[in-house]
Structure 1
Amino acid sequence: MRGDLVRSVLYLPASNARAVEKARTLDCDVAILDLEDAVAPEAKVEARAAAVAAVRAGGFGPRLGVRINGLDSEWGEDDLDALAEAGAGLIVAPKVETVETVHAISARAPGAALWAMIETPRGLIALNDIAGAGGRLDGLMLGVNDLAKALGTGAAPDREPFKPWLAALVVAARAHGLVAIDGVFNRIEDADGLAAEAAQGRLYGFDGKSLIHPSQIALANAAFSPSEAEVEAARAVVAAFAAPEAEGRGAIRVGGAMVERLHLVQAEAVLARHKAASR
């Protein structure tokens, strides 16, 4: 994985051997081999075998994860056991609605980090409990397509119906030290729309965005990386607090604004993220 970055999280169907092989060289931060929505029922067992083989073979540039089928499906438990045995480093669980699901996956795959997808009304209601479940839970992901279906929301510019849930998921993730991954953008050929939605996700505090096509990677990486202006501003804050006249002071003036020590912490985080993104 490139540092701790999760800017671009690309889903690829595990049943597509060509897509799996291509994932080894893509510039996404995380590649997720999908056993759930992207795989037809008759191809589930074959897709599981392909995902297990990919995990065992390794050789991926991005961090590699696998989205299993739900544990309440006929494939979920076998997916989980096979991936745990293969040594998967990251498991994505769909439609998580209870703390018990987090505990069950953590117990059966103790060597894998877990990202829980929140994509149902029950998941939203239990969001804080799920986020605080502990175990191997490392991140929360918003599943916007299933959530839109369940809530009965219509398409809207600026994702108006989802704004409370965008904020709620980030709050829950931050409260419990988890990464927060925004949902997918379905219109593959709408680069402007993706850029705007990714910028919105970053504004809300997400660490990265779920993607469904390699053409979306560059935009997501750019949106969730510090801009040059942000980097320069961060450097100015760090330099100002390093100056002798700032010693012992909690607040100083930088570029016409008052900044405090908390802004120094934020500036240092920006520079660390910039360094990771530049590798």
Structure 2
Amino acid sequence: MTIYDTPIGDVISSLVRVFKPKGFQLTAPVFEYFDDEHTLAQELRRDLAHGLCGKTAIHPCQIDIIERSYRVSEEDVFVARKMLDQKSAGVFKVNGAMCEPATHSSWAVEILARSPRKDF
């Protein structure tokens, strides 16, 4: 199970709710099993869904999957740019998902800040 399936999951959610709106970046806790890449991948998806900015590795074998999980996709960069474009509508659709700049602009700024491409 991931840490989110334990009582600590509620603590992480509470910390995010308190600190993220105030501009604090939080890092995800360690995943203590070296040889369970499947569950680590699940936990990383939930870390990202919570808006956590990184994850501590306790073994070198975890670094690659953590880095791959936090890598920004070209699709996210495209959506983030569109989200911050002053010419975009108040609500629009990309790949079947509703996008609302007023609600998602913080996400867009974070995505562009994490992107290795800085030509935006």
> SS at 1:182's partner residue?
coil
- Percent identical among aligned pairs is 25
Instruction: State the 1:258 CA deviation.
Output: 5.2
Matches within 5 A, 1:196-235: 196-235=42-81
Instruction: State the 1:171 CA deviation.
Output: 2.4
Greater relative contact order (Cα < 8 A, sep 6+): 2
**d(CA) in 1 for partners of 2:39 and 2:116?**
28
Instruction: State the 1:163 CA deviation.
Output: 1.6
Q: Which has the higher Rg, Structure 1 or Structure 2?
A: 1
For the 8 Å contact 2:2–2:40, the answer to whether it is kept is no
For the 8 Å contact 1:237–1:267, the answer to whether it is kept is yes
The structure richer in strand per residue is: 1
Q: Flag the 1:276–1:181 CA change in 2: closer, same or farther, 3 A.
A: farther
Structure 2: gaps (5+ residues): none
Partner of 1:48: none
Q: Flag the 1:178–1:268 CA change in 2: closer, same or farther, 3 A.
A: closer
Partner of 1:272: 113
Amino acid in structure 2 at the alignment position of 1:271? L
Instruction: State the 1:276 CA deviation.
Output: 7.0
Structure 1: gaps (5+ residues): 1-156
TM-score, structure 1 normalization: 0.35
Q: When the two structures are aligned, how many residues end up with a matched partner?
A: 114
Give the CA RMSD over aligned residues: 2.7
1:156-195 CA-partner distances (Å, limit 9, x unpaired): x233222211212222332543221221112112222211
TM-score, structure 2 normalization: 0.73
Instruction: State the 1:198 CA deviation.
Output: 1.4
Dislocated runs of 4+, deviation >6 Å: none
Amino acid in structure 1 at the alignment position of 2:100? V
Partner of 2:92: 253
The structure richer in helix per residue is: 2
State which drifts further: 255-264 or 181-190. Answer: 255-264
Amino acid in structure 2 at the alignment position of 1:158? T
For the 8 Å contact 2:83–2:105, the answer to whether it is kept is yes
